Structures are given as structure tokens and as C-alpha cells.
Amino acid sequence: MDLQQLADLLFPSISGTLEDWEEAYPKRKLPEGASVTRLGPSPTGFIHLGNLYSAFVDERQARLSDGVMILRIEDTDQKRKVEGSEELIIRSLSHYGINFDEGVTLEGEKGDYGPYRQSERKEIYHTAGKKLVESGWAYPSFMSEEEIGALRKRQEEQKILPGIHGKWASERELTLEEVRENLLAGKEWVLRLKSRGEGRESYSICDGIRGDIRVHPNIMDTVLLKADGLPTYHFAHVVDDHFMRITHIVRGEEWLSTLPIHLEVHEALGWEPPVFCHTSHLLKMDGGNKRKLSKRRDPELSLEYYHQEGYFPEAIREYLMILLNSDYEEWRRDHPDTPLEDFSFRMEDMSSSGALFDMEKLHDVSKDVLLRISEEEILAYLLDWADRYAPECAPEMHERSSELLRILSIGRDAKKPRKDLIYARQIYQFIHYYLDGGFHIEDPLPERVSREEAIGILEEFLAGYDHEDDNSAWFAKIRAIAQDRGFALRMGDFRREPDKYKGTVADVSSVIRLGITGRASSPDLWNIMQIMGEERALKRLEDYLASLQSESIA
Ligand code: GLU
């Protein structure tokens, strides 16, 4: 069969050659050892933690080697395309400090290796497809879904691996005439790889993360171009990664199973493959077992979740780095104040057995990270978050922003600083008591304090209250009330002789705390009352007293 004629018949509008594209996209002039990485998300309207995880590896690899990181939009599946996805991807990643040097941006495309949307690169794929036909590495296939289904059924009956391969790939033998007839009859066709893998030995390649991995050669005549003329992932990314001069393909381990196809496509085109770097799945604990995070079951897989909850980008970055490199935590202990960017991240140090994503751990990391962020920044982030996600309280938060700044600061400069702040929604709940909007008494009186007792405590406290008292004078008054009313001043005393006391001084201050914050626990109460101001603080205590009194009567 004349392969050139077949190629011309299938791709009548392609006149250029792969050499033309080689010239159009010359080798990059970058410093020795510079990596070129890319993220290739599909615009499905959903961006997830796995994308961020991969992007982070791409970003570190490119940055630390003075290389380039590209955003390529993999939009060959037109059915799954969702309007606005590109913007969502770009904005979400940028929120976490991932900014691309090249590719699709909000201001249009940037770089000399575009177009950067696969849907606009058809001519390049078709040139590559034509080349494969010319060299006997690909052929057109006209089989319908039904025919393929029937073939698979026959293969299954004969206990043979189902699919188009080896002698089962009968269309490899179609004559030029038959192809022409099918085309004239308007039959749909796809382009298939004519695999040469059957009978080949397995071999090893070096994965950038996993080290040596064993590859079992591909034998399937995989589809390269679909009936709509667009390429499959298997074909598109090989062509793009080659012509965009990518050096490292960072992607999820779900692609390991089809890696043999990708290696064979490289071979067919006579290209040296980039370094494949397969990250491991993000896992979670579920009922004592580890399992993959799932889009359907785990809201925390979506990046949107972290926006809505108001996780700080710095905390997410820190946690991802911990997941990525096992020696990062040790480095952090030795360098508590150094920016994460200074850590010498290495792909070789990444785990290949699954990264356990644990919300508890994220929270612990976040508490530490927030200690390194100034209260001003935390407040600014919180206010932004509130504008979007807590609009009912946002105006009062803005109005009281200077007070909130002081509230957030309580206990943070101590030797052992308080670690109360984790993420915006939690911080919002944590300081919510301070706002008048929606303020209410959330917790019950301490067990050892009756309502009558509480009324007495509040009356006495209010009678002796002086807003000018410093912290110790303020507390001395509470101690006096406690002693007066038969509460122990020391926990130890109470424990030794529980019958002698009504409770402890902590029970007494709890009553005041409840009146001021509505809660049984809070940061330093004297501080809160000072920030609140005399009028608001006393009003809260009076209101609480009145509500206890009215309950008493009722
Ligand atoms: N479009 C592919 C995905 O979203 C990209 C995989 C890759 O990075 O090669 O999974």
C-alpha cells in the first residue's frame, strides 16, 4: 500500500510537515538544568486539590531550576467543557501563589509556543497524525461502536484480551481502495496507532518521582484522533509536550497504566520523551481504611471548599509541602521563619505510596502558620472572606475592625502563644461573640453555680466594677467575690475538701465570661472587656443578669 497516498487521502488539507513545526517551536534557550513544566487541566468547571498538588510540584520544579511553567488548557473533550472554567483555574491557583510564566492567562495567551488551548492546535495534531500514517505507524479505523462491542464479546468468549490489537486489528489491512470507498460513503473514522508492542519484552524507565519503574509494552491500537478530528489525551499531550519543549511531565498516578501508550507514541514519532513524574493519589482515612479522595463523597477535594471555609493560602501551601516532601517538617523546625520557597524541594524525595490528606493535620499546620502571619493580614483576609461568606455580619465587622484586631491579638505574643486561629470561618465563629449582631448566651451556667448564685455574683461584680482597674485589680475583685460567697480560691483546696466549698474561683469568673462572651471559655476576659469598652461590657452583664432574674421569676 502506498502510505503517502493514504496519508494525503486522510489529511488533504495538511501540506506542512513536522519539520516545519520543529522550526516554529525551537529548543528553548534556558540555563543548563532548567525545567519546563506544565499543568494541563481540563476546563470542566471543577478544580481540585489534586490539580493544586500537581501544580505545586510543577511550580517548585520550574522555579527552583530557573525554568518555565506553562498553563495549557486540555479542552479536547468538548462535551465536558464548562464556561468560565479557565478563569476559575487561573484565579484559584493564583490564590495559592501558583502563577504561570506562559500559556493561557486572563489577559490572553502569553508565550511563543502556543496556541495553548488544545482545541486550537488541530493542525499540529493532524500534521503529526499524517506523519504517523506515512511512516506506517497509524491507520484509519471505520469500526462502529457496535462492531467493536461485538469484537470484544468474541474475544472475551475466547479468553483473549479485549480490544483492537494484533491480528484482531483487521483494519490494519484495509486497502487504499477500501479506505477511499469508506470515506466516499461518508463513514466516520478515527486514527489508530498501529502498535508494534506485541511480543516485546518489558523494560524500565526512570520516573522523576518513583525512580525505576517497569513498563509492559503497549499492544493496543489506541485511538489517536477521534471522529471529530480532535486528538485523544494520549496523542495530544505527547505532541504538545514535545513542541512546547516540556522537560518534566508531572501528573497523577492514574496515568501510569497508559504510560506504555505514551511511550510508544513518542517512539512512533521518533521523539525523546520528557521525564515522566507520577505523583501519588491523595488519600484520606475513612473508617480505619485509607481511600482515594473522591469528588462525589468528599467536599474537601474541591478547591472551592477551601475558599468557602477561608483557609489561608499560606497554610495550604505549607501543608502541601509537608505532604510532598517528607523532610520538610524537619527543615521547618530548624527554619521557623524562613519562607517555604527557600526549601530545596526535590521530586526524588516525594512519596510514591499515596499522600494522606488529613484535615486535623491541616488544622495543626494552619495554627502554626497563622502565628507567623500578622494580625493585620489575618484581619484583612477575614474581612474579605466575611464580605463573601458572612454578609450578615460583615458591616459590623468592618465597623469594629480596629477592635477586632485587638481581639485577634489576645495571647498571641505570649511565650507560649495561643493557637486559636485556623481558618476564616472558624475565626469568624471564634470571635463572633464580640459582635452585637446575633450575640446570644451559648453555654449553660457552670454545674456548680445555681441561677440564684449567678445572680448574686453578677450583682456584686457590677456593684464593684471599675473600668479603670488593671488586670490584677480586676481579678482581685473576682477573687473577693468568690471567697465571700464560699468558693475556693485554689483548685487544690477545692479538690481536697469539696464539701467545704461551693466550687472554685473559676466558676465565679465563668459567670462573668458567660455574660460577656456567651461562652464558657474565651481568651483573657479582662482584655476582652477593655476592648469592648465599659458601656458595651456592662450592658451585656446587665442584660444577662436581667435574663437570669426573669427566668427566676418565671
Ligand atoms: N488533562 C489531563 C487531566 O486533567 C492532564 C494530565 C497531564 O497532566 O498530563 O488529567
CATH number given to 451-553: 1.10.10.350
Cα(38) to centroid(ligand 1), Å: 10
Work out the mean pLDDT of the chain and round it to a whole number.
Answer: 95
pTM: 0.89
Contacts by residues 518-523 (CB-CB < 8 Å, ≥ 24 positions apart): 518/433, 518/439, 518/440, 518/441, 518/442, 518/443, 519/433, 519/442, 519/443, 520/443, 520/446, 522/433, 523/407, 523/410, 523/411, 523/418, 523/420
Q: How far apart are CA 146 and CA 158, in angstroms?
A: 19
Q: What would the pLDDT profile of 27-37 be if each residue is shown by its tens digit?
A: 999 999 999 99
Residue pair 51/91 in contact (Cβ under 8 Å)? The answer is: no
Q: What does R_g of the chain's alpha carbons equal in angstroms?
A: 33
Residue of 49, 85, 251 to mutate, ligand 1, most atoms within 8 A of C-beta: 251
Q: Is the pLDDT of residue 1 over 80?
A: no
Cα(40) to centroid(ligand 1), Å: 5
Q: How far apart are CA 8 and CA 32, in angstroms?
A: 41
Catalytic residue among 153, 290, 295, 500: 295
State the pLDDT at residue 45. 86
Cα(57) to centroid(ligand 1), Å: 14
Q: Is the pLDDT of residue 498 over 90?
A: yes
Q: What's the whole-number mean pLDDT along residues 160-188? A: 96
Q: Is the pLDDT of residue 554 over 80?
A: no
Nearest atom, ligand 1, residue 41 CA = 4
Q: What would the pLDDT profile of 458-485 be if each residue is shown by its tens digit?
A: 999 999 999 999 999 999 999 999 999 9
State the pLDDT at residue 507. 97
Cell representation of residue 392: 450578615
DSSP string, 312-348: -HHHHHHHHHHHH-TTHHHHHHH-TTS-GGGS---GG
Q: Is the CB of 251 under 6 A from ligand 1?
A: yes
State the pLDDT at residue 528. 98
Q: Is the pLDDT of residue 254 over 80?
A: yes
Q: What's the whole-number mean pLDDT along residues 498-517? A: 97
Q: What would the pLDDT profile of 198-233 be if each residue is shown by its tens digit?
A: 999 999 999 999 999 999 999 999 999 999 999 999
Q: Is the pLDDT of residue 553 over 90?
A: no
Domain 18-118 of CATH type 3.40.50.620: yes
Cα(233) to centroid(ligand 1), Å: 8
Chain center to CA of 350: 17
Q: Is the pLDDT of residue 511 over 90?
A: yes
- The residue nearest atom 9 of ligand 1, judged by CA position, is 251
Q: What CA dihedral angle connects 279, 284, 287 and 290, to 10 degrees?
A: 10
Q: Which CATH architecture has domain 3-15+122-227+256-279?
A: Alpha-Beta Complex (3.90)
Q: Is the CB of 274 under 6 A from ligand 1?
A: no
Q: How far apart are CA 54 and CA 98, in angstroms?
A: 11
Residue ranges per structural domain of the chain: 3-15+122-227+256-279, 18-118, 375-434, 451-553
* Catalytic status, residue 295: yes
Q: How far apart are CA 353 and CA 457, in angstroms?
A: 59
Q: How far apart are CA 413 and CA 371, in angstroms?
A: 9
Q: Is the CB of 40 under 6 A from ligand 1?
A: yes
The rounded percent of the chain whose pLDDT value lies above 90 is 92
Cell representation of residue 70: 506553562
State the pLDDT at residue 355. 87
State the pLDDT at residue 351. 80
Give the Cβ contact number of residue 133 at 10 Å.
Answer: 22
For residue 354, name the pLDDT band (cuts at 50, 70, 90).
Answer: confident
Residue pair 88/120 in contact (Cβ under 8 Å)? The answer is: no
Cα(279) to centroid(ligand 1), Å: 12
Q: What's the whole-number mean pLDDT along residues 387-395? A: 96
DSSP string, 487-546: -BSSHHHHHH-GGG-S-BHHHHHHHHHHHHHSSS--S-HHHHHHHH-HHHHHHHHHHHHH
